[in-house]
């Protein structure tokens, strides 16, 4: 993934900036990713459940889980550096992805000149208003500019 956001953007501009980047990615539009929140070093994505995103038993497909974690981590990194590309992404699946929507929350752990280390959690929103942890992951991103 390559993400480009401007470091000169004010903190209030970050959500709008990431929404613009999100709209540029055909995959993100198809999947229904929504930028819910963005602050320096932090990003939250939301994706409503759709049946066509599921696997054999009606759970969210592991590829979509990975995509949400990867994208949220890239967006969190992009709040601190202009352009990044993922060089490593590791995801641990903790529970079946069952819910009405999925929320990926990512944070920058350390931003260096050559690598940005991020972490994320993916939760499934339940009908009763609670959420369930589905997966967590870490991504290493490389600043491109």
Structure tokens at 124: 């499934």
- Using one digit for the tens of pLDDT, what is the confidence trace for 28-72? 999 999 999 999 999 999 999 999 999 999 999 999 999 999 999
pLDDT at 5 over 70: no
CA 43/CA 78 separation, integer angstroms: 9
User: Residue 3: pLDDT band by 50, 70, 90 thresholds?
Assistant: low
CATH 3.10.129.10 fits 2-143, yes or no: yes
Helix (H) or strand (E) holding 133: strand 131-143
User: Residue 145: pLDDT band by 50, 70, 90 thresholds?
Assistant: confident
Give the residue among 101, 80, 92 at the shortest CA–CA distance from 139: 92
CA 55/CA 46 separation, integer angstroms: 19
Would you list the domain boundaries of the chain? 2-143
3-state secondary structure of 33: coil
Helix (H) or strand (E) holding 69: helix 62-78
Give the residue among 31, 116, 42 at the shortest CA–CA distance from 72: 42
- Using one digit for the tens of pLDDT, what is the confidence trace for 45-56? 999 999 999 999
3-state secondary structure of 58: coil
pTM to 2 decimal places: 0.91
Percent of the chain at pLDDT exceeding 90: 89
């Amino acid at each position: 993934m390559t993400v480009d956001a401007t470091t000169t953007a004010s903190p209030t501009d970050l959500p709008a900036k990431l929404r613009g980047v999100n709209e540029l990615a055909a995959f993100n539009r198809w999947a229904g990713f929504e930028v819910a929140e963005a602050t320096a070093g932090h990003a939250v994505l939301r994706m409503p459940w759709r049946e066509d995103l599921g696997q054999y038993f009606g759970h969210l497909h592991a590829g979509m889980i990975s995509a949400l974690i990867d994208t949220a981590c890239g967006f969190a990194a992009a709040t601190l550096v202009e352009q990044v590309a993922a060089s490593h992404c590791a995801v641990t699946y903790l529970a079946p992805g069952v819910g009405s929507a999925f929320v990926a929350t990512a944070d920058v752990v350390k931003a260096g000149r050559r690598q940005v280390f991020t972490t994320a959690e993916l939760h499934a929103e339940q009908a009763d208003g609670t959420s369930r942890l589905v997966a967590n992951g870490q991504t290493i991103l490389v600043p491109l500019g």
